[in-house]
Amino acid sequence: MSINSAMLAGVSGLKANSAALAALSDNIANVNTVGYKRSQVDFQTMVTGGSSGGYSAGGVLAHARHYVTQEGLLQRTGSSTDLGISGQGFFVTTERAEDLTASDSRLFTRAGSFSVDTLGYLRNSAGLFLQGWIANTEGEITVDPSDLTRLNSINVGAVGGAAEPTTRVSLNANLMSSQAVSPEFATYDASTNSMAMYDPETGAGVRPDFEMQIPVSDSKGGKRTLAISFLKTDVPNQWLAEIRAVPASDVVTGAGLSNGQIRTGLVAFTQDGRLDVDAMQAMGAQALFPDPENAILTFGASDGAAPGAGQVNWAPGLGVDDQQVSFDLDTAAGGLTQYDSQSVVQAVITNGTAFGNLTNIEINEQGYVTAIFDNGVTRRIAQVAIATFPSPDNLISVNGNAFRVSQGSGTYNLKAPGTGGAGMIAPNQLEASTVDLSAEFTGLITTQRAYSASSKIITTADEMLEELIRVKR
Q: What is the pLDDT of residue 52?
A: 58
Specify whether the CB–CB gap between 295 and 226 falls below 8 A: no
CA–CA gap between residue 246 and residue 79 (Å, rounded): 45
In this predicted model, what pLDDT tens digit does every residue of 130-185 receive, in sequence order? 999 998 877 788 888 878 888 999 998 777 666 789 999 999 999 999 999 999 99
Residue predicted with more confidence, 9 or 248: 248
Banded model confidence at residue 355, pLDDT cuts 50, 70, 90: low
CA–CA gap between residue 314 and residue 325 (Å, rounded): 13
Q: What is the 3-state secondary structure (H, E, C) of 2-49?
A: HHHHHHHHHHHHHHHHHHHHHHHHHHHHCCCCCCCCCEEEEEEECCCC
pLDDT at 100 over 90: no
pLDDT at 429 over 90: yes
Please report, rounded to a whole number, the percentage of residues in the chain having pLDDT higher than 90: 57
Weakest-pLDDT range from 83-92, 273-282, 372-381:
372-381
Cα–Cα–Cα angle for 11, 12, 18, nearest 5°?
90
- Beta 295-300 vs 312-314: how paired, if at all? parallel
pLDDT at 227 over 60: yes
Average pLDDT over residues 13-38: 89
Q: How far is CA 403 from CA 92, 137, 161, 398, 399, in A?
A: 10, 33, 37, 5, 8
Q: What is the pLDDT of residue 53?
A: 62
Whether the bond between 290 and the residue before it is cis, its omega within 30 degrees of 0, is no
Average pLDDT over residues 66-91: 91
Residue type, 291: D
Average pLDDT over residues 349-365: 82
Which positions ≥6 away from 419 have C-beta within 8 Å? none
Domain parsing of the chain, residue ranges: 2-67+434-472, 74-161+358-431, 163-356
Banded model confidence at residue 473, pLDDT cuts 50, 70, 90: low
> What integer best gives the mean pLDDT of the chain?
89
Residue predicted with more confidence, 260 or 465: 260
In this predicted model, what pLDDT tens digit does every residue of 441-451 receive, in sequence order? 998 999 999 88
Q: So what CATH class is 163-356? A: mainly beta
Banded model confidence at residue 247, pLDDT cuts 50, 70, 90: very high
Q: How far is CA 433 from CA 70, 124, 405, in A?
A: 10, 16, 21
Q: What is the pLDDT of residue 50?
A: 60
What is this structure's pTM? Answer: 0.64
On the 0-12 / 13-18 / 19+ scale of CB atoms within 10 A, 236 is: exposed
CA–CA gap between residue 444 and residue 462 (Å, rounded): 27
In this predicted model, what pLDDT tens digit does every residue of 301-323 receive, in sequence order? 999 999 999 999 999 999 999 99
157: closest CA among 338, 357, 388, 423? 357
Residue 120, sorted as left (phi over 0), alpha (psi -120 to 50) or beta, turns out to be left
Average pLDDT over residues 386-412: 92
Banded model confidence at residue 464, pLDDT cuts 50, 70, 90: confident
Residue predicted with more confidence, 52 or 280: 280
Which positions ≥6 away from 197 have C-beta within 8 Å? 204, 205, 206, 258, 259
Q: What is the pLDDT of residue 160?
A: 67
Q: What is the 3-state secondary structure (H, E, C) of the chain?
A: CHHHHHHHHHHHHHHHHHHHHHHHHHHHHCCCCCCCCCEEEEEEECCCCCCCCCCCCCCEEEEEEECCCCCCCEEECCCCCEEEEECCCEEEEECCCCCCCCCCCEEEECCCECEECCCCEEECCCCCEEEEEECCCCCCCCCCCCCHHHCEECECCCCCCEEECCCEEEEEEECCCCCCCCHHHHHCECCCECHHHCECCCCECCCCCEEEEEEEECCCCCEEEEEEEEEECCCCCEEEEEEEEECHHHEEECCCCCCCEEEEEEEEECCCCCECHHHHHHHHHHECCCCHHHEEEEEECCCCCCCCCCCEEECHHHCCCCEEEEEECCCCCCEEECCCCCCEEEEEEECCEEEECEEEEEECCCCEEEEEECCCCEEEEEEECEEECCCHHHCEEECCCEEECCCCCCCCEEECCCCCCCCEEEECEEECCCCCHHHHHHHHHHHHHHHHHHHHHHHHHHHHHHHHHHHHC
Cα–Cα–Cα angle for 172, 178, 182, nearest 5°?
100
